[in-house]
Amino acid sequence: MKLDPGDNAFAGSIPALYQSHLVPLIFEPYATDLAERLQPRSPSRILEVAAGTGVATRAMARLLPPTASIVATDLNQAMLDQAAAAGTARAVTWRQADARHLPFPDGAFDAVVCQFGVMFFPDKAGTFSEARRVLRRGGVLLFSVWDTIEQNEFANTVTTALEALFPEDPPRFMARTPHGYHDRATISADLAAAGFERQPVYETVTKRSKAASARDPAIAYCQGTPLRTEIEARDAEGLERATMAAAQAIEQQFGSGPVDGRIQACIVTAEV
């Protein structure tokens, strides 16, 4: 899977809209799940990569003991700024870092965590290798990826609506990147190439995505992700038109009041 240059463009107004609309819509339901998976392992040193605006960071800070140190990193400083502004239940360390070139010594962490970030890594095997380098023997890499776009109803509805709006060159960011890294054989091969010798454990987790109205998920996807860049590249003045088309499609399928759609992801556990 090849990323487009703009797939990692979380800048401008995107981080704030990502935090206000997308995080409660699809990320919060999985953040607690991830933190709860770490609890029985009692890690004392945790590194989060691709932390975004910190939804999983906040869950870990809330659910893991204060003795567990958390370092949360992201490539995009604007996302970390938004995360720091949102705050956490206790102190964590925010640090700008490229997950492919981590500024930490070998074996520095008990756990490396990534919630819905690995899909954005251009070199997945290389990034997994870097995670393995900073893990101690017996440590764990725990990460989540979205299932196919067809299993994630709002994302699929928005993508289909934009295909109708831009039939000659439909924006495919959602299908290409967030929902483009779900094949377990591919993931296993990348982990093996990175030096993870144990067979990874996969678990499909289905949850519900809820919003007060159809417009909320339309804004979340069209304006709070790099899909916005694709829309504006096709029509510089068309962002609101695209958002309206997405909202109308969601309303047609899920109703005019509060909306509720299926989201589905896979949680991957790889032990060193």
Confidence of residue 185 (pLDDT cuts 50, 70, 90): very high
Report pTM. 0.94
CA distance 127 to 98: 9
- How much of the chain exceeds pLDDT 90, in percent? 94
Is residue 7 within 8 A of residue 120, CB to CB? The reply is: yes
Report the relative pairing of strands 201-211 and 259-271 from DSSP bridges: antiparallel
Residue written as token pair 């965590």: 113
R_g of the chain, CA atoms, integer Å: 18
Structure tokens at 87: 């705050």
- How confident is the model over 250-270, as pLDDT tens digits? 999 999 999 999 999 999 999
* pLDDT tens sequence across 62-110: 999 999 999 999 999 999 999 999 999 999 999 999 999 999 999 999 9
- According to DSSP, the β-strands at 109-115 and 69-74 are unpaired
CA 126 to chain centre: 19
Rounded CA separation 191/67 (Å) = 30
5-271 CATH choice from 3.40.50.300, 3.40.50.150, 3.40.50.620, 3.40.50.970:
3.40.50.150
Per-residue pLDDT tens over the stretch 50-64: 999 999 999 999 999
| Pairing of β 93-96 and β 45-48 | unpaired
Q: What is the pLDDT of residue 14?
A: 85
- The answer on pLDDT for 31 being more than 80 is yes
Of 111, 101, 269, 131, the residue nearest 195 (C-alpha):
131
Q: For residue 40, give every residue at least 6 positions away whose Cβ sits within 8 Å of its Cβ, in sequence order, or none.
A: none
Answer whether 242's CB lies under 8 Å from 231's CB.
yes
Count the helices and strands in the chain (H runs, E runs): 11, 7
Give the integer Cα–Cα distance in Å for 49 and 45: 13
Strand, helix or coil for residue 154: helix
pLDDT average, residue stretch 195-206:
98
